[in-house]
């Protein structure tokens, strides 16, 4: 499966952006689809994941209440709605997918088989 991430940009603190992760090649089916981010000089970190089949979600604590992950079955696309953005949210955001849901959790980048290209999110203060 090929993943195409889009929707990044420059926004002021407190603003919103919606990232999209579109899949081609096959449908997400029973996949887990997640978002990670990497700021300059920092390691890639987990942001959120959704289980395609059930809609179950997980978020890292720093984005809970501000970010919402969702899916559109018809478009085979996963979204990350980001509200109340902060300067510390600035990073390159990556979407990733695993062809089967890992019961033990999917917060590690090693849990994923497929990666899209990154999309830059910059939040100015």
pLDDT digits 0-9 by tens, 63-106: 999 999 999 999 999 999 999 999 999 999 999 999 988 888 89
Give the mean model confidence (pLDDT) for residues 27-56. Answer: 94
Instruction: Identify the pLDDT of residue 28.
Output: 75
Tabulate helix, strand, coil % of the chain (nearest 5).
5, 50, 45
Average pLDDT over the chain reads 95
Structural Rg of the chain based on CA atoms:
13
Instruction: Identify the pLDDT of residue 103.
Output: 83
Strand 91-98 and strand 32-38: the pairing is antiparallel
Instruction: Identify the pLDDT of residue 105.
Output: 85
pLDDT bucket at 45, cuts 50 / 70 / 90: very high
pLDDT bucket at 27, cuts 50 / 70 / 90: confident
């Amino acid at each position: 499966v090929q993943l195409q991430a889009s929707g990044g940009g420059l926004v002021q603190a407190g603003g919103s952006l919606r990232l999209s992760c579109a899949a081609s090649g096959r449908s997400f089916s029973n996949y887990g689809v997640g978002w990670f981010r990497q700021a300059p000089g920092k390691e890639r970190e987990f942001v959120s994941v959704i289980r395609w089949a059930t809609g179950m979600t997980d978020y890292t604590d720093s984005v809970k209440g501000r970010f919402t992950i969702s899916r559109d079955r018809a478009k085979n696309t996963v979204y990350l709605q980001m509200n109340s953005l902060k300067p510390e949210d600035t990073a390159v955001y990556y979407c990733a997918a695993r062809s089967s849901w890992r019961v033990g959790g999917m917060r590690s980048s090693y849990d994923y088989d497929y990666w899209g290209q990154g999309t830059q999110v910059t939040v100015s203060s």
